[in-house]
Structure 1
């Protein structure tokens, strides 16, 4: 028996005999909008604060055209030369992803296009599971991340997020809040230092 087993055994043996119910935790969302339009506006505001971009579709504009417009000045190469890994039917990519791909094989992806399960207005975060990612590493190794988000799937805060059942059958869940960033060096904020250089959210049902 290890020292760890000894310690845990002692804790179990000396656990107080009581049956106290878990305390009720408030949702802390009474100060946030409760309607879909209000939540979408707050999400866009917080997303911008974290360095992301909310790119709403104009009248008659498709997702593919919006994607090109949003990244026109960020790619550093002609859009036609970009390696695009798309997991959404709205955008035709040129790099297919399969769940048997080695994570390192997506190192050269310029643009990853994914649909988020939901968004969080309080932080401007988007949620993915392995079902949306296919290759989990693509959300980190791609140069630019483009996220389709149904505005009706935006919750107020993390308390509400954890009440959802999205995690029940997921083996992997991640929240992304803006592009990669660091301010470790002389307090200077640098975006795209250790992950995606940009994160663009396109509201699309």
Structure 2
């Protein structure tokens, strides 16, 4: 352990001085319908949006994924059959059927959602499950990636990822296959946070 710490300390003391991140221009167009833009962008990437939140998200999850035996939820609105505390390592969620998370941010321009270690608990639950359900408050949608870059999630998280639909891969002819790896489906439910 001492050798590792010696190496890390040497890197820290001989590395370049910290500096501020570059300032990014706003590039705002002033779009009024961020929900519409987000929905269209996500659909282009084979994701789907539920515009009207179900009255009972627990019941909706069960009805939408009737074959699911293992549901992992970090969102307070849905109780899973397994919790992240039960996963011993990053590969443990590989048999999860549905992961349910709440995102702090949606990006209208790209149909992306932000997830950090705070929302996930175990970072791989968003990519190893068969289906991903993301709860997004419409008030948390920003217009473009430049606005998203300013979100505190990027500054405060050790791990941050923007996801845009289920995984896909395209060959040189432009034929896209979904899923290439990762989740088979990604569904964003537009549901306000409790208390909003």
The bucket for the TM-score relative to the shorter chain is 0.7 to 0.9
User: CA distance change for structure 1 residues 184 and 89 in 2, over 3 Å: closer, same or farther?
Assistant: same
Q: 2:55 aligns with which of 61, 72, 77?
A: 61
SS state at 2:36 partner: helix
SS state at 1:140 partner: helix
Please give the TM-score of this superposition, normalised by the length of structure 2: 0.80
Larger radius of gyration: 1
User: Contact 1:63/1:202 (CA < 8 Å) preserved in 2?
Assistant: no
Over residues 8-63 of structure 1, what are the superposed CA-to-partner deviations in whole Å (9 max), with x where a residue is unaligned? xxxx9xxxxxxxxx996432121x414xxx111111111111110001236x6222
Output the CA distance in 1 between the equivalents of 2:110 and 2:85. 30
The aligned counterpart of 1:45 is 40
The aligned counterpart of 1:108 is 95
The aligned counterpart of 1:28 is 27
Structure 1 residue ranges, 4+ long, deviating more than 6 angstroms after superposition? none
Q: 2:69 aligns with which of 82, 89, 95?
A: 82
The aligned counterpart of 1:16 is none
Output the CA distance in 2 between the equivalents of 1:187 and 1:125. 21
Q: 1:159 aligns with which of 100, 124, 146?
A: 146
User: Contact 2:87/2:93 (CA < 8 Å) preserved in 1?
Assistant: no
Matched residues, number: 174
SS state at 2:126 partner: helix
Computed over aligned residues only, the root mean square deviation of the Cα atoms, in angstroms, reads: 2.4
SS state at 2:155 partner: coil
User: Contact 1:84/1:110 (CA < 8 Å) preserved in 2?
Assistant: yes
Over residues 141-177 of structure 1, what are the superposed CA-to-partner deviations in whole Å (9 max), with x where a residue is unaligned? 0000000001000001111011122222211000000
Output the CA distance in 2 between the equivalents of 1:190 and 1:135. 27
Provide structure 2 residue ranges, at least 5 long, that are not aligned to the other structure.
1-15
Over residues 57-86 of structure 1, what are the superposed CA-to-partner deviations in whole Å (9 max), with x where a residue is unaligned? 36x6222233345x35xxxxx44x521000
Please give the TM-score of this superposition, normalised by the length of structure 1: 0.76
Over residues 83-124 of structure 1, what are the superposed CA-to-partner deviations in whole Å (9 max), with x where a residue is unaligned? 100011211100110297301111100000000110000000
User: Contact 1:103/1:136 (CA < 8 Å) preserved in 2?
Assistant: yes
